[in-house]
Structure 1
Amino acid sequence: MAVRIALFLSLVLLFTSSTFAATYFEGLLPNGDFEQGPKPDQLKKTVIQGRYSLPKWKINGLVEYISSGPQPGGMYFAVTRGVHAVRLGNEASISQSIPVKPGSLYALTFGASRTCAQDEVLRVIVPPLKGDLPLQTLYSSNGGDTYAWGFRAFSKFANITFHNVGVQEDPACGPLLDAVAIKEFFPPLPTTENLVRNGGFEEGPHRLLNSSNGILLPPKQEDLTSPLPGWIIESLKAVKFIDKKHFNVPFGSAAVELVAGRESAIGQIIRTVPNKIYNLTFSVGDARNGCHGKMMVEAFAGKDNLRVPFFSRGLGRFKTVSFKFKAVSARTRITFFSSFYHSKIDEFGILCGPILDQVRVFPTS
């Protein structure tokens, strides 16, 4: 009997261990905040010496280990999440392999910002997928922009790489990376009451500590790998994912902010019945973040559209609107964007815009 119990416990332990090893639900990557640094003899001033000198990461090229504050040469780097970060020089990269579930959808969340005046690009690679994030546009006054990037796992391990593709005059110039986290999604499905997947934006990327500026969803993200499940970021600029803790959110715990006018568009393709009439309802407002002025959100569904004016005084108000559209095919694209460009009243030059929440599509009775 004792042997059977011991065997049973061994099997339970084996199953639990293998399940844990294959699952990485949500949180920072190992040493994802870079607070575990190289040993003193593995640093030449700020440059890391040795491919495996940064714990849990593999480095390639000129990678610097940065502490928040004044830097040699008169520069100042603000590390908004913790004390330490890494800076990627010309053609430099860092990478890490983590266990994942084949077929599952994941999103990386990471703090990234440019450190020089030049146009800098951060490439994110999870084979066979890759994407380039332009860092020239600043969306926060302290440089602490946070991005999310989605991918679907094709094997039991994902090799995550951050690569500086640029070649600047100063080889030390390059993106600053100060935290990396991951989240596994459980993709929402349409229902009979709402044909829109994730219409309330409740399923979204991991929120890093001190992510008070929201999370930027990069442009040109397809719905199959989007860091905002169900939605396509189909514009040239980012859309911002915001939470109730730091912003005014009309419903639930999250919404999106259309921060770059017509260059900041979000959409989704839904299943419809040709010639059937549907209702599209959604809420627009302001995030109570200093964004003010005359706003306009434009909504498109198939061949129909609606313009929704909204005057923001930065008080966190919103309104809900609706319109009917006729489906012309078995697939209908719904799209939303802001008609105008806006900046914050106390931070001129920092882009902001109206928020969108609680998107619903349902057939008329």
Structure 2
Amino acid sequence: MGKIPVFRSFQTSILVLTLLRSFDAMVLAEDGLLSNGDFESSASGNGTWQQGTGDGVESLDSWSIQGTVEYVGDGQRQGNMLLVVPEGRHAARLGNEAQISQGIKVEKGSTYSLTFAAARTCAQLESLNISVPPASRNMDLQTLYSSRGWDAYAWAFQALSDDAEVAFRNTGMEEDPTCGPIIDAIALKQITTPEKDKGNLVVNGDFEEGPWMYRNVSAGVLLPTNLDVTTSPLPGWIVESNKAVRYIDSDHYTVPEGKRAVELLAGKEGIISQMVDTEPGTKYTMSFLLGNAGNKCQTPMAVMAFAGDQADNFHYSAPAIRIYEPNNVTFTAKAQRTRIAFYSIYYNTRTDDRSSLCGPVIDEVKVVDLSKSSADPRSFFTVYGLLSSLLVGLSVCLCL
């Protein structure tokens, strides 16, 4: 009888440890908006948008603040300028050298991507610093990619510990200390590098793994320059140019295959690339699908595709039936690592909105060793495209 309490004590200890582990799992940041990441919870102080004093808030739910942070609202004006609130009814504006930050629980060693909406206000050269120490990045807000007045961006970091602090800081100095970028809809997503498909040397060639996407907004997410592939918000890929490319989803855009794809913007200033493992002297074929996002982008649309020392341009001719066209570049590897890359040949804008940048879409990028391939990937894409065309055509005939 004397041993029963000890056994029960042991059971209780196990139960407590289980609950603690469950609690630890619960407090880990989940994919989606950060706590009050949309700034819809109330703020206190003189900076509420209803009062419009611009003196800054004293506190902001779930966020620590430094400097002048204004709680702005939909419809708020500053002189003759209408302040843009990207999502919902409220957002935060960072004054000169102002900062907001939030502590989060993450998994050490994992890679995370932050998605956020940003708009500039008083100055064209406004910029924003995003950091999860020791990682840090200055984001230039000079280029506005859409006419809505704001854009969504993604930035990635690797967690060096289980505790992290996300911070957004305005590094600029304006004559008006309350001027500065507006930020909103801050979301987090844990991302992983997908395994290569059998026979395909490209990592994440279907672009299915990437940053958090807004479910109710057809904005896409801009991927700015990021030369560090280990912390890219689009695993496997590097944006190595001055301008961004747009990550799009099938809920809001036309995507050739699956749920995700990349839209190339700003001509030669928007380059996406990847280094793939190759054997010198071996012949390979890089194949990809070329399409349009279904967002009324002006023609002509074309991409320049690079595979090692080979390059070719491909024009999208808007086929009547299919939403994409299969293309390929054949090359012989000269080294153990070969660069593949894409950019849009033209600077395209939408036919219904000349202020919004757009461009061709790429998807399903594959690099195949022809000596190990049972079939030429060009033949696969050709047959697949023909079958798709026949099926769509048959459905049209049946509808008629």
Residues 234-265 of structure 1: CA distance to partner in whole angstroms, max 9, x if unpaired? 01000000000000000000100001110000
Specify whether residues 354 and 281 from structure 1 end up closer, same or farther in structure 2 by C-alpha distance, changes over 3 A only. same
Match of 1:329 in 2: 335
Is 1:295–1:312's contact at 8 Å kept on the other side of the alignment? Answer: no
Query: Which residue in 1 is equivalent to 2:36?
Result: 31
Give CA deviations for 1:51-84 in whole Å, capped at 9, x if unaligned: xx11111111111000111324232123231111
- Aligned mate of 2:66, from 36, 45, 60: 60
Q: Offset of 1:221 from its aligned partner?
A: 3.9
Q: Which residue number in structure 1 is paired with residue 159 of structure 2?
A: 153
Q: Does 1:340 align with 2:346?
A: yes
Deviations 1:201-233 (A, max 9, x none): 000111124331110011234211111111001
Contact 2:286–2:329, Cα closer than 8 Å, also in 1: yes
Tell me how far 1:15 sits from its aligned partner: 1.5
Q: How far did 1:5 drift?
A: 4.0
1:17 aligns with 2:40: no
- Unmatched runs of 5 consecutive residues or more in structure 2: 1-6, 372-400
What one-letter code is carried by the residue in structure 1 that aligns with 2:205? G
Counterpart pick for 2:139 among 111, 133, 136: 133
Structure with the bigger percentage of helix: 2
Match of 1:224 among 221, 230, 243: 230
Paired with 1:227 and 1:355, the residues of 2 have a C-alpha distance of: 18
Q: Does the CA-based 8 Å contact 1:257-1:353 persist in structure 2?
A: yes
User: TM-score, with normalisation over the residues of structure 1?
Assistant: 0.94
Which residue does the alignment assign to 1:279? 285
Aligned to 1:208: 214
Query: Which whole-Å deviations, capped at 9, do the CAs of 1:25-56 have from their partners, x for residues lacking one?
Result: 30111111111122357867343343xx1111
Instruction: Please say if 1:76 is aligned against 2:82.
Output: yes
Larger radius of gyration: 2
The residue aligned with 2:316 is: 310
Instruction: Give me the TM-score of the superposition, normalised by structure 2.
Output: 0.86
Residues 116 and 48 (structure 1), Cα distance of their counterparts in 2 relative to 1, 3 Å cut: closer
1:293-349: CA deviation from partner (whole Å, max 9, x where unpaired): 112211111111121111359998210111211111111111111111111101112
- AA aligned to 2:360 is P
Q: Deviations over 1:94-124 (max 9, x none)?
A: 1111111121111000010111243111111
CA distance in 2, matches of 1:315, 1:260: 27
Any residues of structure 2 matched to 1:83-98 within 5 Å, and which? 83-98=89-104
CA contact (8 A) 1:192 1:362 kept: no
CA contact (8 A) 2:114 2:187 kept: yes
The unaligned stretches of length 5 or more in structure 1 are none
- Gap change, CA 1:360 and 1:61, over 3 Å in 2: same
How big is the shift at 1:190? 2.1
Which residue is equivalent to 2:127? Answer: 121
Q: What CA deviation, in whole Å up to 9, does each residue of 1:131-154 have, x standing for no partner?
A: 111112111211231110011111
